[in-house]
Amino acid sequence: MAIMIRTPREIEKMRRSGAVVRQVLEHVQAAVKPGATTLDLERAAERKIAELGAAPAFKGYRGYPCVLCTSINEEVVHGIPSAERVLRSGDLVSIDCGVVMDGYYGDSAVTVAVGDTVAPGAQRLMDVTRASLERAIAVVRAGATLGDIGAAVQEVVEADGFSVVRDFVGHGIGTRMHEEPQVPNYGQRGAGAKLRIGMVLAIEPMVNAGKPEVQVLHDGWTAVTQDGSLSAHFEHTVAVTDEGVAILTQ
């Protein structure tokens, strides 16, 4: 299957799904505090998604059990919310949410610190990961390539001595959560498929403070850094437009 081209009408629908995802993430972030469990975050998200008239995208996807992925510290992505998992001051928690509304998907993630005190290195990791996503979004326009996106992420991340996860990538998104193309967070400028007006991508750098290798735990989902180092993750759904780029999840 080729990379889908979405009409302005379709992109408008994706903007609405994206706005729901944003509101859910804001709502969940307000519930992040020491002593809260990741199941508390899941419940807050479930209620908000329903209130906004959308449906969760992750729950049931390949058997995934929840509407959020909540990944703490050395967990990279796909952490499963649980009543046993209590947030502590200084933890980093990545909150990833996808919804579908009117047939169109939105997908976004943020990483936030729990409580008021966070180690400088952890703060730096979050800042650099967010900056790498911003830099990648800034190169998106018709005529740019997937390699330009990956190179932008990689440059920002590696300049700080952090590493880009290779085992998971961003993706096209539209009437399915995962569509072509794969959107790696590494690559060479000018390489890969050319972006065209109407393409919609979920760009999602996953950045480790230490080495890039990850492994999946026995729950079949939770990906953790192999060296136990911290990891951060940010994601936006963006569309290539005649004006350059539109962030649909903000």
Binding site for ligand MF3 (CB under 6 A): 58, 61-62, 64, 69, 78, 96, 98, 107, 109, 171, 202, 204, 235
CA distance readout (Å), 32 to 93, 114, 203: 9, 6, 24
Nearest-approach distance from CB 7 to Co ion, in angstroms:
22
22 interacts with, out of ligand MF3, Co ion, none, CB within 5 to 8 A per kind: none
* SS3 at position 208: strand
Q: How far is the CB of 237 from ligand MF3 (least distance, A)?
A: 10
Output the smallest distance, CB 204 to Co ion, in A.
5
What residues line the site for Co ion (CB under 5 A)?
107, 202
The single-letter code of the amino acid at 243 is E
**In angstroms, what is the minimal distance from the CB of 230 to Co ion?**
20
Pick the closer one to ligand MF3 by CB: 91 or 204: 204
Residue 95 or 118 with smaller CB distance to Co ion: 95
Closest to Co ion by CB, 61 or 188:
61
Distance of CA 161 to the CA centre of its chain: 21
Name the binder of 223 from Co ion, ligand MF3, none, CB < 5-8 A by kind.
none
Taking CB atoms within 8 Å and a gap of at least 24, the contacts of 154-162 are 154/185, 154/186, 154/187, 156/128, 156/131, 156/132, 157/128, 157/129, 157/132, 157/185, 157/205, 157/207, 160/124, 160/128, 162/125, 162/128, 162/129, 162/207, 162/208, 162/209
Measured from each CB, the residue nearest to ligand MF3 is 64
Residue 204 CB, nearest approach to ligand MF3 (Å): 6
Stretch (H or E) spanning 22: helix 8-30
